[in-house]
Structure 1
Amino acid sequence: MTDTNSGRRGGVGASTAAGLLLALALGGCGSGMTGTSDAGAPPSAAVDSPPPAPAAAAPSVSTPAAAVPPAAGPAALARSEPVTLEIPAIGVRTDLLKLGLRENGSLEVPQDSGNGAPASWYNGSPTPGERGPSVILGHVNSPNGRGGVFADLRKLVPGMDIAVSRADGSTAVFTSDRGALYGKDSFPTLEVYGNTSGPELRLITCDGYDPATGLFDDNYVIYAKLKA
């Protein structure tokens, strides 16, 4: 799931023989922030925790979208793993973990010991700047009662910049295109994870906290496209 040929990387798992495509199931967002996940049948949903405990993510398997021709716009960058994420407009600067899938097909999520966890890049997705949707996940809150790294993700509006520094010394700058709220029982797998014609970015967290259950019922997704 980490094919180094950027010309063939169109979406999450697009280069694998089985053509894996993930349906988000942010199930590692439960209390205690141990990073456990709750992946269900695709498209699946997620669970996040209340202000005393953060959010994360986990997926399941489906079939991929059809190949999409390259789009006009900034040229895709060569593969290089992400190092840090910055969103100046909402005061975010975070190192990036690099997490994959568990044996059950659910997505590993950042573990929070109580002081806030960094965001994580899903290492089965394209690296930021490669063609296709690069996926970065972050908690909405933290067990210490403060906001998680993506607590203010809803404040990100179209036109705001998102910068990802990469291991090769380059920086991929994306422009926020839109944000969308999805119920975890109706998560649009292909729309979020499917092949794209150019380099794109997905920032994902939990939303819709229900005090009656102590869980988050929704996922919030930022869609962004490569600017430079």
Structure 2
Amino acid sequence: MNWAQVIPGLFALAGALMGSTASLLSARWSQRHQRQLESDRQAKERERAASLIAREAVVKLLQLDPKPSERFEYRAHWAMRRGQPQPPEEDRPSQELDDVWIKEWKSWLLQLQVVIGEFSDDEFRQRLKDLHTTLTGADSWWEYMGAVESVTRYRVCHHLLDCLGRYGRGAPLEPMPEDVQEAWSAMQEQIEFWDLEHERQKQEIERLRKADREALTQEGENAS
């Protein structure tokens, strides 16, 4: 065998294989890179769409009138706190009016809620969740939050618009305004209180069931 002729051929084959492998790896890397770019583009498009949907919901919440019975409930609350006579019941707006308001209020809160998960930034997403939670509880627990629902909604929604604007510009989030922070903190306290109360009730129910089972077992043993 003429090795002088074979060896150059082997080197040529090895070079061709290496070139083919490098080309294949390059093509695969390019494909992965293109897929990643496309994935990033789609994520940004989803965030832009989510931002527009969230902004619409916040604006609609800002434009929403106070709940029809809000003023009556406020007067009744402070009359009770001050030991004064309650406002006459005929002054209370009808439940039908409240129901119409609640339906619209909940629809805009839902629209905001469903797009929160589309945002990739953890801090921004958590801020939106906290503010949405505050809005959700502002009607039921307004006494603990220091303001009626319409006032809390006004404050929270303006901060939401600021957050959405900053996120769209790539600017860092500002801390919650003091009044919004206080409302959120009061909301968290109520959530924690009722979570503990719910757990206490579950334990009490389980204790009573256990006592009943033990009593039935004892009765069976006594009967035998």
Quickly name the TM-score band, shorter chain normalised: under 0.3
Greater relative contact order (CA < 8 Å, ≥ 6 in sequence): 1
Q: Answer 1 or 2: which has greater helix percent.
A: 2
* Bigger Rg, structure 1 or 2: 2
TM-score (normalised: structure 2): 0.24
